[in-house]
């Protein structure tokens, strides 16, 4: 029974691959007790197997090698605990993310039509009286701005006693993306002209020709509807003649399930 193990035997003992052991040597994470200076052969002692075992267990938990090094170097169980808790945090995040992805993919499988078949049509939107409020929004705050804006509109229009003449809509004159925020306009179609009040102004919107389609489902999956419309417009030789509108056909109060929400998207065209 020799007291030094070549890498192959040590590999079997510790159930770490030879490649992994050489890698750990290179990183200085688990250097062999002896390296023959002539042949370069690595030789390990039995007592190194514990460290190897610890590495194997931690790697089995997906702890990064850098953390493994620190964990094994830290005498203080305080520090080790902190590192482990940090890793627990990482695992929990991944778990949560995987759960969300799983739920999402279930939905994708459920409604098999992976890409929704949007039907694009052209129509005339008649002129109408509207109440409009303008707000500045970023991608992060847009949801809040929309609901606040509609509340403000409802209040102003209600006080003025002007009846509504259709579902509320939104006009997006500027592109809003990750890093640029922009103005949005929220509007209520009205049965009669509205004078305006505070931030809310009344306006008469002229008739326009639009290309439109309807998106059924949660609002944050509305992207493809936009792309389909802009693509359709381009391919059919039209030209975009103004900012797009979103018309919220369903009232979230009446239709609580986001999967049944209907949003009409319109692009004015020439």
Partner DNA sequence: CTTGACCCTCCCCCCGGGGGAGACCGCAGG
Partner DNA sequence: CCTGCGGTCTCCCCCGGGGGGAGGGTCAAG
Please state, in angstroms and rounded to a whole number, the distance separating the CA atoms of residues 188 and 34.
81
Binding marks (x or -) toward its own copies, 51..80, rule CB under 8 A? -xxx-----xxx--------x-----x--x
Q: Which is nearer to DNA, 39 or 47 (CB)?
A: 39
Partnered with residue 184 across adjacent β-strands are 135
Least distance CB 152 / its own copies (angstroms): 30
Q: Helix, strand, or coil here: 146? A: helix
78 contacts: CB under 8 Å, gap ≥ 6: none
Name residues contacting DNA, limited to 58-97 (CB under 7 A).
Answer: 59, 62, 64-66
Q: Listing from the earlier edge strand, what are the strands of the sheet with 169-171?
A: 121-125, 208-216, 262-268, 245-248, 169-171, 182-190, 128-137, 201-205
Partnered with residue 124 across adjacent β-strands are 209
Name residues contacting its own copies, limited to 19-48 (CB under 8 A).
Answer: 45-48
Binding marks (x or -) toward its own copies, 154..193, rule CB under 8 A? ---------------------x-xx---------------
15 binds, among DNA, its own copies, none (CB under 5 to 8 A by kind): its own copies
The yes or no reply on residue 92 touching its own copies (CB under 8 A) is yes
Of positions 26, 113, 124, 254, contacts its own copies by CB under 8 A: 113
The yes or no reply on residue 85 touching its own copies (CB under 8 A) is yes
Return the CA Rg of the chain: 32
107 binds, among DNA, its own copies, none (CB under 5 to 8 A by kind): none
User: How wide is the angle at C-alpha 153 spanned by C-alphas 149 and 159, nearest 5°?
Assistant: 150
Least distance CB 54 / DNA (angstroms): 13
What are the backbone angles phi and psi of residue 174, rounded to the nearest 5°? -125, 155
The yes or no reply on residue 48 touching DNA (CB under 7 A) is no
Q: Which is nearer to DNA, 17 or 121 (CB)?
A: 17
64 binds, among DNA, its own copies, none (CB under 5 to 8 A by kind): DNA
Please state, in angstroms and rounded to a whole number, the distance separating the CA atoms of residues 180 and 213.
26
150 contacts: CB under 8 Å, gap ≥ 6: 168, 186, 188
The yes or no reply on residue 17 touching DNA (CB under 7 A) is yes
Please classify residue 13 by burial: count the beta carbons closer than 10 Å to its beta carbon, then call 0-12 exposed, 13-18 middle and 19+ buried: middle
Tokens of 250: 């369903």
Residues engaged in binding DNA (CB under 7 A): 6-9, 11, 17-20, 22-23, 36, 38-42, 59, 62, 64-66
Q: Rule CB under 8 A: which residues touch its own copies? A: 1, 3, 12-13, 15, 45-50, 52-54, 60-62, 71, 77, 80-81, 84-85, 87-88, 91-92, 94-95, 98-99, 101-102, 104-106, 108-109, 112-115, 175, 177-178, 223-224, 226-228, 230-235, 239-240
């Amino acid at each position: 029974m020799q007291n030094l193990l070549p890498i192959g035997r040590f590999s079997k003992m510790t159930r770490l691959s030879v490649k992994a052991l050489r890698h750990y040597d290179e990183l200085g994470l688990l250097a062999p007790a002896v390296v023959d200076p002539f042949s370069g052969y690595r030789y390990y002692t039995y007592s190194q197997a514990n460290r190897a075992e610890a590495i194997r267990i931690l790697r089995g938990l997906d702890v990064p090698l850098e953390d493994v090094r620190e964990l094994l170097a830290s005498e203080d169980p305080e520090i080790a605990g902190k590192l482990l808790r940090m890793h627990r945090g990482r695992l929990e995040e991944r778990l949560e993310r995987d759960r969300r992805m799983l739920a999402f993919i279930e939905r994708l499988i459920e409604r098999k039509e992976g890409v929704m078949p949007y039907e694009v049509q052209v129509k005339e939107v008649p002129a109408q009286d509207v109440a409009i409020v303008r707000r500045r929004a970023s991608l992060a705050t847009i949801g809040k701005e929309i609901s606040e804006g509609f509340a403000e509109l409802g209040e102003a229009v209600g006080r003025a006693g002007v009846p509504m003449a259709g579902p509320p809509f939104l006009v997006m004159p500027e592109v809003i993306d990750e890093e640029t925020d922009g103005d949005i306009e929220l509007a209520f179609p009205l049965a009669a002209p509205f004078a305006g009040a505070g931030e809310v102004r009344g306006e008469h919107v002229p008739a326009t020709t639009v290309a439109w389609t309807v998106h059924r489902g949660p609002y944050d999956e509305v992207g493809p509807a936009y792309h389909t419309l802009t693509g359709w417009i381009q391919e059919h030789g039209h030209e975009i003649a103004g900012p797009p509108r979103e018309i919220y056909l369903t009232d979230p109060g009446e239709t609580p399930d986001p999967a049944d929400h209907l949003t009409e998207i319109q692009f004015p065209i020439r």
